[in-house]
Amino acid sequence: MAGKFTLLAVWTLALVNAECKHGSKFPSDFLLGASTAAYQIEGGWNADGKGQSMWDWYLHQQPDLVSDHTNGDVAADSYHLYKQDVALLKEMGAKSYRFSLSWTRILPNGTADYINPYGIIYYNNLINELLANDIVPFVTIYHWDLPIGFSNQGGWLTDEIVDKYADYARVVFAAFGDRVKHWITVNEPNIHCTFAYGYGLQPPLVKSPATGYYDCGRNLLLAHAKAYHIYNKEFRVLQRGKIGITVDHDWPMAASDSIDDIDATEDYQAFHLGQYLDPIFRGDYPHRMVDRVAAASLRQGYNSSRLRSFTEEQKDFIKGTTDFVGINHYSSNYVYRNASVVGMYEVPSFDDDAGYATFTNPSWPESASPSMAAYAPGFYDLLLYIKEAYGNPELYITENGFSETLSEDLYDDLKVDYLRTYLDALLDAKAAGSNVQGYFFWSLLDTFEWTFGYEIRFGLHQVDIDDPARPRTPRKSALVYKEIIRSGVIDYNYNPDPYLRTKVKINCTYNNICNK
């Protein structure tokens, strides 16, 4: 194993020290951009008639949920400073911007019986500002900010939430679909269900690892499919857009050549990527996942599997419901299964059902986020796996990034290395036939990172959250990314100094024009 680690470390270093090793360029129509999400940057939590999401409510009631006791009440204040955000994208030369809609900014009560005109105005203004600057909007409909009323009624554990989400999706298609041509139904259902309804560490703090995790994922898939069919039947002919889903996936590698470790790695694929893409592309959950949960449930005295199966009608309803796949990818893992895994997890739980454990290589550059270490070859392998496993779908990397602490200030060199090596791996995968059409770095700005608050920073641009004006300052990574977008190539020798370069300075108020 030590020998394998040595080879992997050498491979990583070789990528970091490469100098445009393959000489390929990004095609002129390849979408290079950045991502954010509504609760993480908008602020304006109760402005202009916005209702409360479950994140608003829980963080007001239990501020200790966040390690630094911050919340998204103001965040980067993009509700008022959206023109600054667009100006930053324009300065970088970004071709696209992925952002999410706040459900309760548009539907304050969650339901479609009252549509908040100010929420519609805000997103119309943002979309129009992007288009005026030749930036393609990629819009995520749901990025975890469920209306508090629905959360109190059971949220994603109730079958009724599917129709409530569908009503919301119909409203946003009608309001923005004449200009938005790329829709993402749901962001990271696996992460959302794991932490919100499995471990109970994020709102709504439901700890239900035996059944809640699975019921949440099931309903999110059905909600995704219902939104797809609504778009297909009611909007596609006139609006001529595309609709997909974003799933998260770290790349798994067997820790050894043992049958147990190889088998565990295949189970990792099934319980992560397969849980959401197999129903869409193949019509049902992966057999490996179904069999493991059923066997564990019977051992534990259940009369049936804790993983509710889809009806034949539901299988047909879900299958084929995507025009593209969004992938959020940050790191890779070694996967193993041996005697030490027995008793590692709560019983019953989805972790125990899967029955494997993971670790990262200690030689990989570590980010400030737990278990997120840089290993670009895993990104390459993931893209080719999706190509082979799912028929090479149209693919967008909707999140990829590296977190550091505020102490790195503007010299985020580890993030720069990460950006370059991962884009290099993407170009190699594209040359090998992957149908990847775009890449969005996470994130454009320092965002409120959920229960980590602002202790970790992913932003290409630093946001001073202690200053009421929320000034944005480009980090070195923003300048490097700008050059990659401009030239279409990855130049490892380009070494800008963010303190010596002219900074992007923008003066803007909500209703005025921003001037650089």
Tens of pLDDT, residues 136-167: 999 999 999 999 999 999 999 999 999 999 99
Structure tokens at 16: 């970091």
Question: Could you tell me if residue 493 is inside a domain?
Answer: no
Contact between 222 and 303 under an 8 Å Cβ cutoff? The reply is: no
Contact between 245 and 184 under an 8 Å Cβ cutoff? The reply is: yes
Report the number of distinct structural domains present in the chain: 1
Look at residue 13 in the predicted model and tell me its pLDDT. Answer: 38
Q: Nearest CA to 331 among 421, 459, 201, 433?
A: 421
- 321: number of CA atoms within 13 Å, CB side? 31
Contact between 436 and 430 under an 8 Å Cβ cutoff? The reply is: yes
Which of 22-31, 36-45, 179-188 is predicted with the least confidence, judged by mean pLDDT?
A: 22-31
**Is the dihedral angle over the CA atoms 170, 171, 172, 177 positive or is it negative?**
positive
**Domain coverage including residue 153:** 2-487
Question: Could you tell me if residue 505 is inside a domain?
Answer: no
Identify the band that residue 9 occupies on the pLDDT scale cut at 50, 70 and 90.
very low
Q: H/E/C letters for each residue in 138-178?
A: EEEEECCCCEHHHHHCCHHHCCCHHHHHHHHHHHHHHHHCC
Mean pLDDT value across residues 393-404: 98
Surface-to-core class of residue 413, CB atoms within 10 Å of its CB (0-12 exposed, 13-18 middle, 19+ buried)? middle
Q: Residue type for 5, please?
A: F
Which of 15-19, 70-74, 301-305 is predicted with the least confidence, judged by mean pLDDT?
A: 15-19
What is the share, in percent, of the chain residues with pLDDT greater than 70?
92
Sheet of 357-359, strands arranged across: 251-254, 332-336, 357-359
Contact between 351 and 209 under an 8 Å Cβ cutoff? The reply is: yes
User: In Å, how far are 49, 125, 239, 352 from 179, measured between CA atoms?
Assistant: 24, 12, 8, 45
Total residue length of the chain:
516
**Percent of residues in the chain assigned helix, strand, coil, to nearest 5:** 45, 15, 40
Tens of pLDDT, residues 454-500: 999 999 999 999 999 999 999 999 999 999 999 999 999 999 998 76
| Number of other residues whose CB lies within 10 A of the CB of residue 216 | 24
Residue labelled with tokens 């309001």: 175
Question: Could you tell me if residue 50 is inside a domain?
Answer: yes
**Core vs surface per residue 114-136: b (16+ CB within 10 A) or e:** eebeebbebbeebbebbeeeebb
Q: Which residues contact 181 (CB under 8 A, 6 or more apart)?
A: 136, 239, 240, 241, 242
Structure tokens at 307: 């993983």
Identify the band that residue 67 occupies on the pLDDT scale cut at 50, 70 and 90.
very high
User: In Å, how far are 39, 486, 502 from 444, measured between CA atoms?
Assistant: 14, 17, 18
Look at residue 23 in the predicted model and tell me its pLDDT. Answer: 55
Contact between 173 and 234 under an 8 Å Cβ cutoff? The reply is: yes
Question: Could you tell me if residue 107 is inside a domain?
Answer: yes
Contact between 391 and 435 under an 8 Å Cβ cutoff? The reply is: no
Which residues are known catalytic residues? 188, 399
Question: Could you tell me if residue 511 is inside a domain?
Answer: no
Contact between 213 and 197 under an 8 Å Cβ cutoff? The reply is: yes
Question: Could you tell me if residue 504 is inside a domain?
Answer: no
Identify the band that residue 24 occupies on the pLDDT scale cut at 50, 70 and 90.
confident
Q: Helix (H, G, I), strand (E, B), or coil: what is residue 97?
A: strand
Q: Which residues contact 388 (CB under 8 A, 6 or more apart)?
A: none
Q: Which residues contact 14 (CB under 8 A, 6 or more apart)?
A: none
CATH code: domain of residue 64: 3.20.20.80
Tens of pLDDT, residues 93-125: 999 999 999 999 999 999 999 999 999 999 999
Q: Residue 261 above 70 pLDDT?
A: yes
Question: Could you tell me if residue 516 is inside a domain?
Answer: no
Q: Nearest CA to 423 among 406, 410, 405, 441?
A: 441
What is the share, in percent, of the chain residues with pLDDT greater than 90?
91
Q: Nearest CA to 440 among 506, 407, 395, 403?
A: 395
Mean pLDDT value across residues 377-399: 98
Look at residue 501 in the predicted model and tell me its pLDDT. Answer: 55
Look at residue 85 in the predicted model and tell me its pLDDT. Answer: 98
pTM (two decimals): 0.93
Per DSSP, 502 falls in state P
What region, left, alpha or beta, does residue 330 occupy, with left being phi > 0 and alpha being psi -120 to 50 degrees?
A: alpha
Spatial separation of the C-alpha atoms in residues 459 and 444, rounded to whole Å: 5
Spatial separation of the C-alpha atoms in residues 266 and 359, rounded to whole Å: 16
Q: Helix (H, G, I), strand (E, B), or coil: what is residue 191?
A: helix
Question: Could you tell me if residue 506 is inside a domain?
Answer: no
Q: Residue 19 above 50 pLDDT?
A: no
